[in-house]
Structure 1
Amino acid sequence: MELKELLKFIEIEHERLKKYYGGYDDQEKRILARTVKLTEELGELCNGVLAHNSLQRKQKLDNYDKENLPMSS
């Protein structure tokens, strides 16, 4: 992905999220909301990486299927 494509993706996502969640007039609230959402997504990615490499606790690994990775909707 090139920078131009990334910037276009960011603009599309900005509009989608604004419609779905409503727009905050306050820039600080908007930044906080997006930071928290980004952190949530990063956590899900980290969870998948840990599980794939069998680095999670046994209880979580028992529910993990390496052949069927969960996909975002």
Structure 2
Amino acid sequence: MLAFETGIYDTIGIDLVAMSVNDIVTSGAKPLGFTDYFATGHLDVDVAEQVIKGIVEGCKQSDCALSGGESLTIQGSCFL
């Protein structure tokens, strides 16, 4: 919600990597690579670019390679 209010979205990507890396590190392992999956109901290219730049920055800060990723636009609603 804060990202929407401020228009700053790169921190979403940084936090995403940080939380994933933290889960690995707390189990005693070292993260080697990170694969992202960016899915949205409506693609806002500017927002997506900021989030993915944040993922790249998060990987740099964590000394973890960005090994791949995928982007997907899902039309309509998706319920799990």
Q: TM-score by structure 1 length?
A: 0.32
Report the structure number with the largest CA radius of gyration.
1
- Normalised by the length of structure 2, the TM-score is 0.29
Choose between structure 1 and 2 for higher RCO, CA contacts under 8 A separated by at least 6 residues: 2
